[in-house]
Amino acid sequence: MRIWRIAGRYFEDPPPADWRQRLASRLGERPRRVGAWVELALYGALSCLDSAGETRLPDDALLSVSTLHGPDIALRAALAEAQSGLPLPIGFLTSQPGQVLPALARYLDWHGEGRCLSCRAPALALQLACVEAGPAGLLAGWVDEDGPGRSLWLRLLPEPGPAPTLVSGVFDALADPVVTHLASSSAQLHLARSTPETAHD
């Protein structure tokens, strides 16, 4: 069973109301020709790398983006446009889930292996990514723009040291900053939490 250290985390759910302004400020510009769903993914991924103390995602790291609905709002808008004629080019572009990986590659300065998948169970998407990731680890995100939006991200690296004590846990527990490690087996997540002693160290 491979054990992963949580090197970075962004689990603010929902994101702050001004997340788009924060993203534009961070990048020095508003991302062009992408929709709100991709922008939300960028905001969460960059926030997670900040948490990990990284300025870019290493090329050997796996990038995994999961979603339940994808750019559903943009897709519905494009379909509404199509009922009265051809959809506008920008509306069509922003309705395409395939936009997310090129946008992340550009702004994370990353040129590696990645995928975007539709998934109802975020823990299963995480387990799959952990199986496929190599020594450079992975950056995994779960992004949906419905309602206030959701952009949850983890930066995971292999744990080279002694194995921590793991107990069964659930995906939502990963939001807790005291959760420091994870592993999976038999479709079950196993989590390690810091003790007062390790937190002090």
Q: What is the pLDDT of residue 94?
A: 54
Sign of CA dihedral 184, 174, 134, 151: positive
Model confidence pLDDT, tens digit, residues 40-97 = 999 999 999 999 999 999 999 999 999 887 666 555 565 566 667 766 655 555 556 6
Under the banding of pLDDT at 50, 70 and 90, the label for residue 118 is confident
Whole-structure pTM value: 0.87
142: pLDDT strictly greater than 70:
yes
139: pLDDT strictly greater than 70:
yes
Distances (CA, A) of 156 to 49, 63, 91: 11, 11, 34
Quick one: 8-158 is in which CATH superfamily?
Answer: Thiolase/Chalcone synthase (3.40.47.10)
Question: Chain-wide mean pLDDT for the chain?
Answer: 87
Model confidence pLDDT, tens digit, residues 11-43 = 998 999 999 999 999 999 988 878 888 999 999
The residue ranges of every structural domain in the chain are 8-158, 161-201
Length of the chain: 201
User: ∠121-127-132 over CA atoms, to 5°?
Assistant: 130
